């Protein structure tokens, strides 16, 4: 990583900045209400933010259920990509999942998102299957990927 970043748990006051990252990153972004509900009502949800110079430039989240972690979102502002920050976020999520007792981690990624797939493979993820017409904006398939954490 070429720039100095800090990681911390996401809090309610972070939602507006996180939504900006979300909207800059995805064609079918989550709403402010979705993040609010995750933080307030989903006891399985764990979210972190990545901060640079007091500004949220990325975030990641997952659901921890029994011994499995399911990555919900990982995003970095476009102007900060290409600096291994997405990898740092994923490694932080993987460490958190291990600390909470997870044995495996899974995620979905667009079949067209070869950059993300390459990162996930670098981190040990393997293809697990296809979810047909998974993404609501264009009905693109999702590749399901898995990694053993222990």
**Catalytic residue set:** 108, 120
Name the 3-class secondary structure at 126. strand
37/45 Cα distance (integer angstroms): 10
84/81 Cα distance (integer angstroms): 7
Classify the phi-psi angles of 95: left when phi > 0, otherwise alpha if psi is within -120 to 50, otherwise beta: alpha
* H or E, element range at 40: helix 32-41
43/45 Cα distance (integer angstroms): 6
Strand 45-52 relative to strand 6-9, pairing: antiparallel
């Amino acid at each position: 990583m070429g720039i100095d970043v800090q990681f911390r748990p996401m809090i309610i006051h972070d939602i507006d900045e996180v939504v900006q990252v979300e909207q800059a990153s995805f064609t079918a972004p989550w709403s402010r209400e979705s993040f609010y509900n995750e933080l307030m009502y989903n006891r399985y949800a764990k979210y972190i933010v990545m901060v640079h110079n007091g500004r949220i430039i990325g975030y990641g989240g997952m659901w921890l259920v029994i011994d499995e972690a399911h990555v919900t979102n990982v995003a970095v502002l476009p102007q900060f990509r290409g600096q291994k920050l997405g990898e740092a976020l994923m490694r932080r999520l993987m460490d958190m999942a291990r600390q909470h007792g997870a044995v495996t981690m899974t995620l979905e990624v667009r079949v067209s998102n070869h950059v993300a797939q390459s990162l996930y493979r670098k981190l040990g993820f393997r293809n697990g299957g296809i979810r047909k017409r998974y993404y609501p904006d264009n009905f693109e398939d999702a590749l399901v990927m898995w990694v053993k954490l222990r």
